[in-house]
Amino acid sequence: MVNIAFIGLGHMGGPMAANLVRAGHQVLGYDLDAASLAEAAAAGVTPAASAPQAAAGADVVVTMLPMGRHVLALYRDEGLLAAAAPGTLFVDCSTIDVADARLAHRAATDAGHRALDAPVSGGVVGAEAATLTFMAGGGAAEFAEAEPLLAAMGKKVVHCGDAGAGQAAKICNNMILGISMIAVSEAFVLGESLGLSHQALYDVAAAASGQCWALTTNCPVPGPVPTSPANRDYRPGFAAPLMAKDLGLAANAARAGGVDARLGLQAARLYEEFGAAGGADRDFSAIVAAIRERSGA
Ligand code: NAD
């Protein structure tokens, strides 16, 4: 049994913390939102009065927060690092900027602790079912210590390299996904204009070189893949603003590194526009509707 502090018990963190409780660990949790804290408490998480109070007796501190600025503020300004016993392992599972992840590592180690970035893929469904994929960045010893805990919340845990490598893997993967969903959607709209049925294009592309996850698992048109969000009026799934956020992180990293990622930058803009124009609570695959509309179809 490990003493765990879990900070950020929202859509993802709540069920992840519950899975750590189910695996037999002692989990002290905290969230600024009282309703999220109460929900986690109902699932067996012991509520703490503050984040530093949760961290004070912990072996491992897990954070699952919206953005890098929340993680850095909590670590440095809100006393989380200062409250923990020396040598505590800080595992940040939030999706944040690679540069912020490296700052968080540095802040933790400067304070005498150890750190790992371990963002996830798999969404709320994966968080609930403990089938997330974890991408970790940090030292081998830190990874070895965290791995059994991450395995209690997921089905696959990959050590990607040093500090920030988990975040790097996450944004690179999601850049592939964001671009490929737009490619698949443009192809379906082009097919429509050429009189090609969705099923015919699907049957060909799924068995040919156009095959990809955006087509065969999250197909943006209803019909060919009955479980895809398109068949339930694009209820997420993976909401468009989350894709916009991840592509924004990828775009920042590409700009900072001087990488010619024109499609990634353009995809980031398209999801942002789509989110602002009514797509905020829809699956990212609903971008097909925006493409159709802009095509005058
Ligand atoms: P969420 O908004 O539901 O949860 C974040 C929680 O953090 C909120 O409950 C908020 O009250 C809490 N919080 C913020 N600042 C805090 C502080 N200082 N102290 C304590 N609590 C604080 O978001 P989510 O959907 O759970 O996502 C969390 C992270 O996981 C994000 O970085 C997101 O990009 C990433 N992610 C989300 C999904 C998804 O499908 N939702 C999938 C993969 C990764």
pLDDT in tens, 97-128: 999 999 999 999 999 999 999 999 998 889 99
| Ligand 1 atom at minimum distance from 78 CA | 18
Q: How confident is the model at residue 51 (pLDDT cuts 50, 70, 90)?
A: very high
Active site residue 156: no
CB atoms near residue 156 (< 10 Å)? 13
- Write the pLDDT tens digit of every residue in 53-80: 999 999 999 999 999 999 999 999 999 9
- 14: CA distance to ligand 1 center in Å? 9
Query: Is domain 3-162 classified as CATH 3.40.50.720?
Result: yes
For every residue of 210-234, DSSP letters joined together read: T--HHHHTS-SSSSSSTTSGGGGTT
What is the rounded CA–CA span in Å between residue 21 and residue 27? 6
DSSP 8-state code for residue 207: T
CA 96 from centroid of its chain's CA atoms: 9
Q: Is the ipTM of this complex over 0.85?
A: yes
Measured by CA distance, the residue closest to atom 36 of ligand 1 is 95
Same fold, 3-162 and 168-294: no
Q: How confident is the model at residue 290 (pLDDT cuts 50, 70, 90)?
A: very high
Domain chopping of the chain, boundaries:
3-162, 168-294
Q: How confident is the model at residue 237 (pLDDT cuts 50, 70, 90)?
A: confident
Residues with C-beta less than 6 Å from any ligand 1 atom: 7-13, 30-33, 36, 51, 64-66, 70, 74, 94-95, 120, 123-124, 238, 242, 245
CATH class of 168-294: mainly alpha
